[in-house]
Amino acid sequence: PQGQTKKLRQPIVVVLGHVDHGKTSLLDKIRSTAIAAREAGGITQHIGASIVPSAVIEKISEPLKKIVPIKLAIPGLLFIDTPGHELFSNLRKRGGSIADFAILVIDVTKGLQDQTFEAIDLLKSRKVPFLIAANKIDRLPGWESNPDQPFVVSYQNQSRRAKEELERVIYGIIVTKFSELGFQTELYTKIKDFTKTVAIVPVSAKTGEGIPDLLAVLAGLTQQYLKNRLIFAEGPAKGSVLEVKEAEGLGTVIDTIIYDGIIRVGDIIVLNGKNGPIITNVRSLLMPAPLSDLRAKGTRFVNVSEVYAAAGVRIAAPDLENALAGSSIYVANSVEEANELSKTLQSEVKELIFKADKDGIIIKADTLGTLEALIEAFKRMNIPIRVADIGNISKSDVLEASLTAKKNRSLGVIIAFNVKILPEAEAELANSNVKVIQNNIIYHLIEEYENWSENLKR
């Protein structure tokens, strides 16, 4: 089985950044580059993730051997397929993230923008190390594209003007802005100590320039500096619930990312649900059918009997209807252990789902991850929170908020991420002065709240 004889598991890599800076394109480019190297193993499709094996990384970064000499000890890199802050926030574990490393994408024609700053805050609060992919270098004035070439090779072929344009962006914008934020950043080729400096890797998700460098630096950094995190433990699996879904013929299933250990059909699993921890048994484990994803429209799935970390796997089991995305998931060796783990899970939720005895806003979100991200964001702004909860906006939420609104208008607000307003609440809202702010992008919720509360002061 995969991973069994290997000492290290694949680092889990996420892609974050401002909208339109090229997150999706970059992941697509990494995937297509890996698929093109299929004689070296191509990519392995997982649920919600893809694995680029080491042999493929070595082959793609072969031309860089002299500059970035790496002998890979990790078996590959696991990329989370869907970029974005909302999904990233569901990769939570207490005090951190199950993401081992992040790629922060910055469009070199735009520089740092609102969601870039949001991403930096998220990475800081979850303590996730990252590198900067300075994307769209093909759009720099005077840049001559060298498709699929390493950045260092393409750079040597550039005119003086193009080189100066790149330096202007890297040093004049990225390095300067990051140093204001307390980060030392530098072009990756010039870094002496990667523990002190965040690497900047210039890339183009369009032409593929810099993809070899990006993969080499990701693999090199993670295996060198995160070794302790990546040691594969032969024990029961640990993971995060990325999404809760309805699957035809299977009922409610959970899409999970497993970051440690082994999960097998029949195993006892423990995770958080809307009404408390759920203890159940794995009925089946599903993975995308090999290669079906390349041609067929809908992904076909195959049943597997066991899965080794790191992996993305869909789990079917009884009693998952109330499962919460963003929850940790653990395999238990016995019923007693399951009961112990459910206590741990309960205490994890206490910090996120609460009702405080003070005036403050109400936050309602669809998953534990987005709820946590919102709590952190409003705490950073020093906005007090009265209620934080999962689920739709209810009548009692409106009543709570309207009591607060009478005392402090700017706190009489319900912040709603990806949840609905229940009909009973609609009626109550109509004759209250409670403000509801609904959005499916975390950043926009915060921005709308700031604008609204600023306007109140006028």
- Residue 245 class from Cβ within 10 Å (0-12 exposed, 13-18 middle, 19+ buried)? middle
Shortest distance (Å) from residue 177 CB to ligand GDP = 18
Instruction: Please name the helix (run of DSSP H) or strand (run of DSSP E) that holds residue 56, with its range, or none.
Output: helix 54-60
Indicate the length of the chain as a whole number.
458
**Nearest-CA neighbor of 210 among 106, 60, 72, 55?**
60
- Sheet containing strand 238-247, edge to edge, reads 276-281, 268-273, 328-332, 238-247, 251-260, 311-316, 284-288, 301-304
Q: Give the footprint of ligand GDP on residues 336-375 (CB under 6 A).
A: none
What percent of the residues of the chain are helix, what percent strand, and what percent coil, each to the nearest 5?
35, 30, 35
The two structure tokens encoding residue 288: 């995308």
Q: Residue 93 binds which entry of ligand GDP, Mg ion, none, with Cβ cut-offs from 5 to 8 Å by kind?
A: none
The two structure tokens encoding residue 40: 């070296």
Q: Give dist(CA 400, CA 425) in Å, integer.
A: 11
Based on its alpha-carbon atoms, the radius of gyration of the chain, rounded to whole angstroms, reads 23
Q: Give the footprint of ligand GDP on residues 117-156 (CB under 6 A).
A: 135-136, 138-139
Q: Residue 395 binds which entry of Mg ion, ligand GDP, none, with Cβ cut-offs from 5 to 8 Å by kind?
A: none
Rank residues 109 and 184 by Cβ distance to ligand GDP and give the closer one. 109
Q: Does 24 bind Mg ion (CB under 5 A)?
A: yes
Neighbouring CB atoms inside 10 A of 94's CB total: 10
Rank residues 19 and 427 by Cβ distance to ligand GDP and give the closer one. 19
Q: Residue 359 binds which entry of ligand GDP, Mg ion, none, with Cβ cut-offs from 5 to 8 Å by kind?
A: none
Shortest distance (Å) from residue 89 CB to Mg ion = 16
Q: Give the footprint of ligand GDP on residues 226-255 (CB under 6 A).
A: none
Q: Which of 204, 256, 328, 367 lies at the binding interface for ligand GDP (CB under 6 A)?
A: 204
Q: Give dist(CA 315, CA 252) in Å, integer.
A: 9
Instruction: Please name the helix (run of DSSP H) or strand (run of DSSP E) that holds residue 165, with its range, or none.
Output: helix 160-167
Q: Does 82 bind Mg ion (CB under 5 A)?
A: no
Shortest distance (Å) from residue 122 CB to ligand GDP = 15
Instruction: Please name the helix (run of DSSP H) or strand (run of DSSP E) that holds residue 116, with its range, or none.
Output: helix 114-125
Q: Give dist(CA 445, CA 122) in Å, integer.
A: 15
Phi, psi of 37 (to 5 degrees): -95, 45
Q: Which of 8, 102, 199, 205 lies at the binding interface for ligand GDP (CB under 6 A)?
A: 205
Shortest distance (Å) from residue 408 CB to ligand GDP = 37
Shortest distance (Å) from residue 204 CB to ligand GDP = 4
Rank residues 215 and 414 by Cβ distance to ligand GDP and give the closer one. 215
For ligand GDP (CB under 6 A), the number of binding residues is: 16
Q: Give dist(CA 453, CA 458) in Å, integer.
A: 9
Strand partners, 253: 245, 316
The two structure tokens encoding residue 337: 């252990």
Q: Give the footprint of ligand GDP on residues 9-28 (CB under 6 A).
A: 17, 19-25
Exposure on the CB side of residue 308, measured as CA atoms within 13 A: 17
Shortest distance (Å) from residue 207 CB to ligand GDP = 7
Q: Does 113 bind ligand GDP (CB under 6 A)?
A: no
Rank residues 17 and 48 by Cβ distance to ligand GDP and give the closer one. 17
Q: Residue 149 binds which entry of Mg ion, ligand GDP, none, with Cβ cut-offs from 5 to 8 Å by kind?
A: none
Shortest distance (Å) from residue 26 CB to ligand GDP = 7
Of the listed pieces 19-27, 113-121, 314-322, 352-360, which binds Mg ion according to CB under 5 A? Answer: 19-27
Shortest distance (Å) from residue 22 CB to ligand GDP = 3
Q: Which residues bind ligand GDP (CB under 6 A)?
A: 17, 19-25, 83, 135-136, 138-139, 204-206
Contacting positions for Mg ion (CB under 5 A)? 23-24
